[in-house]
Structure 1
């Protein structure tokens, strides 16, 4: 099986090299970084590190970056695609376990869960407001979608090729709510979604959105939840949930 790691990057020059150098050896046949028109030299650094780097002509957003990543990975013949934020927040040592669960045929989608326990998450530096919002949204999302995930908002994920072909992610947001929309669609399609714990750390260079943007993200997530329920009950049929 060909495994491809994708790195959706934006102004990640301070953490990219540490992320790449910490990747476990021999797991991925290809590493692809898509730069969302950074202004700090992320694209040039990626190329100097010997990984495949592509660049958007203009800044298009986090979701649009992931779309480019998945297109490139599928075009390269990937059977399993892992996505990692290149901000050195997530411990890459767990990547073989994420891809291994898919390779074994246990799950179609696997997430890294930063919140194994509340004490561990807060001790690792997760802001209290972010922890509280993550918990509340995850509980609501699990109830709506019939899942039991530790969190829905991780920047470490892995997908089978079949999962990426089953979900109409091209219709999803170009912003941060892309991740939740994808998981709701995966649940709607009956894909098997699981997670494993991942150590995470928080520091100034790690990518994060502030309280104001977090409120908008929360509203977008609840809108995605509502759209899922409307489609699940058959009251509406939107493009994201229609036939591919």
Structure 2
């Protein structure tokens, strides 16, 4: 683990002339949060908010020592509920861009500008980092083969339904403009893992532009995983959201999560 310093010395987004806030939805990330924070480039981020969702390790104390703004749920409320707190707290500071980054060191936080810059220049409203450019790269980076092929299959279906051509739909490294977060009804969305899918699909339904950028794949022993049972539930929920989107798009059903 990198040395924990009293302050996160990379903070100071004024170098960009725009306010950038990173939010980290955390659960038992004590072993990886310091490494994730250490890789964020200097002079890019104004504030890092970590929301802890009932960790049983030292995630909260480590995050505070790193100089992060920490909010802690008194009990585990779910991944989606965690992100809701992340965005509510971030929006209080009226940021130009909010970056959601898992603190499990699975995503390369050194590439954060690749997500921020297209939003600051007005090219895209939403950006995400894609780990699945080729099968060889994904598997070489440690992604389990089953997870890779499920990502691909479900991704093809999502692309067809949504009319997009993304290489991945399940990234935990995303960036949103303030306008997106202000418009999307994320408080109506799920409290569990399908929240990410609802956010992305709702952004597309609202007409926001979404872009992706390739990032390295890296899976470690300490990388987070939702497990088989929750994974199956997540896939079923994803398909349900796609059906709701299709019905909403064709004016056969009005889904609350797609209302701004």
What is the TM-score when the length of structure 2 is the normalising length? 0.92
The alignment partner of 2:50 has SS state of strand
> Which position in structure 2 is the counterpart of 1:81?
98
> Which position in structure 2 is the counterpart of 1:120?
137
Alpha-carbon offset, residue 177 of structure 1: 0.3
2:243 pairs with 1:226:
yes
RMSD of equivalent CA atoms: 0.9
Alpha-carbon offset, residue 150 of structure 1: 1.2
The alignment partner of 1:206 has SS state of coil
State the Cα deviation string for residues 155-210 of structure 1 (Å, max 9, x = none): 00000001111211111100000011111111111100010001121111000122
> Which position in structure 1 is the counterpart of 2:59?
42
Q: Distance in 2 between matches of 1:45 and 1:121?
A: 31
| Match of residue 194, structure 1, among 202, 206, 211 | 211
2:173 pairs with 1:156:
yes
Q: Distance in 1 between matches of 2:149 and 2:134?
A: 13
> Which position in structure 2 is the counterpart of 1:51?
68
> Which position in structure 2 is the counterpart of 1:62?
79
Runs of 4+ in structure 1 displaced over 3 angstroms? none
2:162 pairs with 1:145:
yes
> Which position in structure 2 is the counterpart of 1:207?
224
Q: Distance in 2 between matches of 1:168 and 1:145?
A: 19
The alignment partner of 2:208 has SS state of coil
> Which position in structure 1 is the counterpart of 2:254?
237
Count how many residue pairs are aligned between Structure 1 and Structure 2: 243
Alpha-carbon offset, residue 4 of structure 1: 0.3
Q: Distance in 1 between matches of 2:126 and 2:68?
A: 25
State the Cα deviation string for residues 83-131 of structure 1 (Å, max 9, x = none): 1000001111210110001001000000100001110000100001111
5+ residue gaps, structure 1, are none
> Which position in structure 2 is the counterpart of 1:185?
202
Alpha-carbon offset, residue 77 of structure 1: 1.6
Alpha-carbon offset, residue 211 of structure 1: 2.3
